[in-house]
Amino acid sequence: MKIPLKLQLSMGSLVGLLIAGRPLLAESLQTSYPKPRDIAAEWAMVLSLVVIVAAAGLIAYTLIARRKNLLDLHSKWILFLGIAVLPVPAIFLSTAVGLEHSKQVKFCNSCHAMDPFIDDMKDVGSNQLAARHYKNRFIQKAQCYTCHTDYGIFGTMKAKLNGMKHIWGDFTNHWEHPIEISKPYEYRICLNCHAGAVRFERLEEHEGAIEEVLSGEGGCNPCHELAHPSRVDRSGDS
């Protein structure tokens, strides 16, 4: 059977596109690696929604189906479960999910005041410390949270309290540009990752650096770039 000329040309063009597009397809597959899912956070979110729906269902059932027997003991117990018991785990689960999501970079980027910091951090051409850590994935996730939170429960609590202040400042539009850190950065947080690393400790320039950082007499910026754009570079942001 003879294949029409137009169909031959179409098939040839399709084959050519497939051959030419293989490198692009391979590149897209390489850059579209699905990040690991946070199963615990996903389950906590689902369970909190299920509990909330169950509580609302019990209340609605009592007020509608048992509206003529609201003073009945069974009705009181059902209302008690829907109003006083089920909301407790729902509150804890939803709070845990919210706190976990607040660690993500996109949460920090939800405030307009953070735009110059996040934009520079995601700029592959930037040599600032935050950008170098981000583009090389020295920190796999929660980059802002990791570098601005000390380890331990008190470090987490302190970070969350400061975060509430930041949210309130953004909500009330109460900040001055260029914004700056509230107190000198604690460089010992950097040691949570770098201390003990061969790449860090084998450099002669780092000899005695850990002791200096722990004593508060030294830091990273005298030798390295700033973590974020300087105040002068951010002075025009609004």
pLDDT tens per residue across span 114-171: 888 999 999 999 999 999 999 998 998 889 989 988 765 566 677 777 777 777 777 7
Asked whether the predicted pLDDT for residue 56 surpasses 60, the reply is: yes
pTM of the shown model: 0.65
Asked whether the predicted pLDDT for residue 27 surpasses 50, the reply is: no
Asked whether the predicted pLDDT for residue 186 surpasses 70, the reply is: yes
From the list 144, 126, 128, the residue with the least C-alpha distance to 221 is 128
Domain residue spans of the chain: 39-101, 104-238
Higher pLDDT, 215 or 13: 215
For the segment 192-221, the average pLDDT, to the nearest whole number, is 88
Residues 6+ apart with CB under 8 A from 166: 111
CB 187 within 8 A of CB 219: yes
- SS3 state at 148: coil
